[in-house]
Amino acid sequence: MTESLEILPLTSQAFAPYGEVIEADPATMRLINNGTTERYHAVAAPVGVGDRLIFNIFRGQPRQFPYSLGMMERHPYGSQSFMPLSGRPFLVGVSADEGGRPGKPQIFLARTDQGVNYFANTWHHPLMVLSEVSDFLVVDRDNTGANLQEFVFDTPYLIAEPSL
């Protein structure tokens, strides 16, 4: 039987076990350039083993809802950050590790001004774009295929269409 997943708002506190929420947090704001620019300092800290840090643009295709979430992936040797460039909300799916496999996924709705930085070795679902093709700035390590593990659930989970 397919289990439905609740969609939760993306907050730093709720997402803390999986990574960092990338957003303009007033607590990190500093004025620079003679007071003409607000800098939100160190909103995430990409990490990884070896290899170089790279910036990519991912162009995500919208998912059809209800969506059947049947797999998760993780990158054991480095973090991976996603920041929307198209000004659209998106879904973030993460799972706690349970003995080397993902547990029951949690689904978060990221606002148009929020991104995420998954910790290294965090189970997550690939990019889940909602209604329109959307671009994302992705920061990760330029490393080999050994940095990708995938897991397919015996029974997929169901995500209803989010109400925006």
14 lies in a domain? yes
Q: How many independent structural domains does the chain possess? A: 1
125 lies in a domain? yes
**3-state helix, strand and coil shares in percent for the chain, rounded to the nearest 5:** 5, 50, 45
> Using one digit for the tens of pLDDT, what is the confidence trace for 108-150?
999 999 999 999 999 999 999 999 999 999 998 887 668 889 9
164 lies in a domain? no
For residue 89, give the H/E element and its range: none
Q: Which residues fall within 8 angstroms of residue 79, CB to CB, at 6 or more apart?
A: 19, 44, 45, 46, 47, 48, 117, 118, 119, 120, 140
> Using one digit for the tens of pLDDT, what is the confidence trace for 44-80?
888 776 678 888 999 999 999 999 999 999 999 889 9
pTM given for the model: 0.90
- CATH number, domain at 9? 2.60.120.480
The CA–CA distances, whole Å, from 108 to 1, 90, 157 equal 23, 8, 14
